[in-house]
Amino acid sequence: MKNKAMVLAPLTLAILLGGCGGEGAKKDEPAQEKAPGVDENKVTLSEDQIRSAGIQIALPTIGGSGVLEIPAIIEGDPQGTQVVSAAIGGRVVALTRNLGQSVRRGETLAVIESREAAQLKGEVQATRARLALANSNLAREQRLFAQRVSPEQDLIAAHTAATEARIAYTQAQQQVSAAGAGGSGLNRLGIPAPISGQIISRSVVLGQTVAADAELFRVANLSQVSLQLSLQPADAGRVRPGNSVTVTAPGRSATARITFVSPALDAQTRQVPVIATLDNKAMEWRVGEPVTAAVQLTGSGGDKAVRVPSTAIQTIEGKSMVFVRTQTGFQAIPVTLGDKSGPSVIVLSGLTGREQVATVNSFTLKAELGKSEAQED
């Protein structure tokens, strides 16, 4: 029995040592390595790899107000557009201008033939004759009164009659002037252009019978055009008269100025109407043309605002990220965004403005980050 115990003791010790040795070997095994190139939103890239991927790096821009980009339509300036209407009803017997043609103020656009025109012109002629007779009687009474032949009462009566005749004649002329002018006939009146400009609308044809106050033409002075904008109330609160608006269209751009911000919402759209005026002396902009308007906003960060190109922003797991250059590559930094500022966006927090960020092809860094995290999983 003593010999058997001596044999079992070394065997038991060997088993215990074997067990301990197995655990020790497991602890000494190296841990599984993470996917190469990624550590806590970091992407490791060499200079050659960055160049090969076409990734461009730049510093954020400091300063500048926010810009709101919205679609807009070029329209005639409300202050430089007038409707030409028929003051009297009748038949259109002449049209002297067509769409797009230029016209000067006072030039005849159309001629209307009507019985009312004959009455108006006839009244002018009748009152002119009565005025001539009243002036003749007044001159005669003045001579007789000077010769002490006629009493002063007759002179006063003649003077009153002449004054009334002059008033009637003036009224008749004004009625004709309000209805038109010329027309080369007792029953015809010409419709003059109220301003110089171009014909942008014509709603009448030759021979048509029109009612009084019917619209015939629209004349616009297109040396200055306008943009009708509709803004959300929150955005309109940061727009002031005088703010600039960058107007762009294929191959063209110009700067307009805000001239009116409505104090009331539009009843149908529930948005704020805003008007901007644009110089158009070169006739580069056409009424009805769709454009993009970048409206400068007031109070969007001022001179200390940090801005990066929109291409630098990537969304990762629902968060806005910017890839910042490090010694070994890039790190994705979460940021809080503000207003869009043209091709760039304002960063409210996350950047100081002194970092170098990936501005072009930053999506390749997002793809590399996602691929490496998938390999790690």
- The answer on 206 and 99 residing in a single domain is yes
- The answer on 232 and 213 residing in a single domain is no
pLDDT score of 163: 93
Note whether residue 278 is domain-resident. Answer: yes
The per-residue b/e assignment along 311-321, b for 16 or more CB within 10 angstroms, e otherwise, is: bbbbebeeebb
Q: Which of 198, 220, 242 represents a domain boundary (last residue)?
A: 220
- The answer to whether 308 and 60 are in contact (CB under 8 A) is yes
- Encoded tokens for 210: 């029109």
SS3 state at 159: helix
Domain region containing 210: 86-112+188-220
pLDDT score of 182: 60
DSSP code of residue 373: H
Which candidate, 289, 270, 269, 281, places its Cα nearest to that of 227? 289
- pTM (2 decimals)? 0.48
Q: Write out the H or E segment, with its range, that includes residue 122.
A: helix 115-146
- The answer on 324 and 283 residing in a single domain is no
Task: Give the list of residues 6+ apart from residue 97 with CB closer than 8 angstroms, or none.
Answer: 103, 107, 109, 193, 199, 202, 217
What CATH number corresponds to the domain at position 90? Answer: 2.40.50.100
What CATH number corresponds to the domain at position 51? Answer: 2.40.420.20
The per-residue b/e assignment along 112-142, b for 16 or more CB within 10 angstroms, e otherwise, is: bbbebbbebbebbeebeebbeebeebbeebe
Note whether residue 281 is domain-resident. Answer: yes
Which candidate, 63, 66, 77, 64, places its Cα nearest to that of 256? 77
Residue ranges in the chain modelled with pLDDT below 70? 1-39, 63-66, 179-185, 299-304, 339-342, 372-377
Could you report the per-residue pLDDT of 31-74, keeping only the tens digit for each? 334 444 445 788 999 999 998 999 999 888 776 556 778 889 99
SS3 state at 259: strand
- The answer on 173 and 204 residing in a single domain is no
